[in-house]
Amino acid sequence: MHIIEIPSFFIPYGGEFCLEQAKTLQKLGHEVRILSVVQLSLKKDVRSFVSLPFGLTEYQENDIPILQSYMRGIPLCVRRNVSRWVRNVHKLFRLYVEKYGVPDVIHAHCMKWAGYASMFLSHEYHIPYVVTEHLSLMDLQEEFGTEYSPQIWQIEWLKRAYRDADMVIPVAHEIVFATQRYYGSDYRWKEISNVVDTAFFYRVDKQPMKGRTAIVCCVADFTYRKGYDILFKAFAKCREVVGDTLRLELHIAGKNTQSSTCKQMASNAEIEDFVVAYGKMDREGIRSLLHRSDLFVLASRSEVQPLVVLEAMSTGLPVVATTAVPQSERIDGACFVVELNDVDAMARQMCHVLKSRYFAEQYHTKDEVLSADDISEKVVELASTSRVGRQLENVFFDVCRRFSEK
């Protein structure tokens, strides 16, 4: 099958989800390429805005062929930029077809705006389009407000693209119900997880916690959404409770985790001497941190499907997280969930997991936490490349069959 992937955002502004799914489909024997138009932001990154090339660029990333062009966004002109972006995708797609032929299916990532652009391509070239949806409710609230309004021009455009899509694939089913206030639910959808490279995020054996410092870790950018204020206070309470049993450190990684604001927040929680901050890390660094850690904690206020939670569990780590994580990630005995913004509940759950594992190690008692092997295997069943690849493949075959019967 000939598949074209069209991401709403891509390198240098992300796009990892698109690339991982493209690699997964390629491994199954499909012809897969990525077509990317990246709107550069003068406010976000002056250097990229000035230095990145004009015109079409073709290259390979992890053996995936990529056709990419860069568009300079016009500050404060959202509607005009959207229209320009859609036109540029159309132009790039026309060049693609001249070189590689018409694909069997378009796979867009996020309806805003790759899915919307794909709707027009589908009509013109008579091919189906499928959209994997990654955007969270908080992403939409920041742009649209908390409730639907007919004055919000983007919503009517996107509602049409949802209804016309041959299939929408939310990475967590909660997206459908959370965004219903904007888009309704009158469209075809099927939940499929994002891909986790379970071969890369493999499990390793750890030394017993007795006699060493136990490491609690978090990998998330330092933003309000990620709830570091809650995490720091909960860690402080947890340290007080387990102090006679375990020595604890909190290791954090992500953009701005080494900032003065983050350090001050840790100082306000009186844990600055027990926090190790790494800043932004690459995949190898994140894996190394997960392998050294004993518990992963995420205090987020809003998520769609935090891939790092699955990556942590893939290495065998238990997780304490908030109800922001979707049901698909709440593996019994592996992912322990507390309500949003509840410092005491998060501290109790952290203590519970650490103590349960510690006493099971020392006294061979029943551990209420799944073994590292079992945790890792659950992630393989949910989100490995083979699992997700086959699910996507089945969707594509099905929509192509139904499209041909119209």
For every residue of 126-175, DSSP letters joined together read T--EEEEE---HHHHHHHH-SS--TT-HHHHHHHHHHHH-SEEEESSTHH
| Selection from 241, 197, 237 nearest residue 380 by Cα | 197
Q: Residue 146 pLDDT > 90, yes or no?
A: no
**What pLDDT sits at residue 135?**
81
**What pLDDT sits at residue 357?**
85
Structure confidence by residue, pLDDT tens digits, 314-329: 999 999 999 999 999 9
**What pLDDT sits at residue 367?**
64
**What pLDDT sits at residue 95?**
95
Q: Residue 22 pLDDT > 80, yes or no?
A: yes
> What does DSSP say about strands 64-72 and 56-61: parallel, antiparallel, or unpaired?
antiparallel
Q: Residue 386 pLDDT > 70, yes or no?
A: yes
**What pLDDT sits at residue 295?**
97
**What pLDDT sits at residue 258?**
97
Q: How confident is the model at residue 142 (pLDDT cuts 50, 70, 90)?
A: confident
**What pLDDT sits at residue 157?**
92
Q: How confident is the model at residue 73 (pLDDT cuts 50, 70, 90)?
A: confident
Q: Residue 233 pLDDT > 70, yes or no?
A: yes
Cα of first residue to Cα of last residue in the chain, in angstroms, is: 20
Q: Residue 365 pLDDT > 60, yes or no?
A: no
Measure the CA–CA gap between 245 and 243, rounded to whole angstroms: 5
Structure confidence by residue, pLDDT tens digits, 161-215: 999 999 999 999 998 988 888 888 889 999 999 899 999 999 998 888 888 999 9
Mean pLDDT of 100-109: 97
Q: How confident is the model at residue 364 (pLDDT cuts 50, 70, 90)?
A: low
Looking at 46-141, which runs of residues are DSSP E strands? 56-61, 64-72, 105-109, 129-133
Q: How confident is the model at residue 366 (pLDDT cuts 50, 70, 90)?
A: low
Q: How confident is the model at residue 362 (pLDDT cuts 50, 70, 90)?
A: low
Measure the CA–CA gap between 322 and 241, rounded to whole angstroms: 21
Structure confidence by residue, pLDDT tens digits, 282-315: 999 999 999 999 999 999 998 988 999 999 999 9
> What does DSSP say about strands 2-7 and 56-61: parallel, antiparallel, or unpaired?
unpaired
Helix, strand, coil % in the chain, rounded to nearest 5? 45, 20, 35
Q: Residue 46 pLDDT > 90, yes or no?
A: no
Mean pLDDT of 123-129: 97
Q: How confident is the model at residue 348 (pLDDT cuts 50, 70, 90)?
A: very high
3-state SS assignment for residue 64: strand
Number of residues in the chain: 406
**What pLDDT sits at residue 11?**
84
Q: How confident is the model at residue 148 (pLDDT cuts 50, 70, 90)?
A: low
pTM of the model: 0.87
Q: Residue 250 pLDDT > 90, yes or no?
A: yes
Helices (H), 101-125: 116-125
Mean pLDDT in the chain? Answer: 92
**What pLDDT sits at residue 361?**
74
**What pLDDT sits at residue 337?**
97
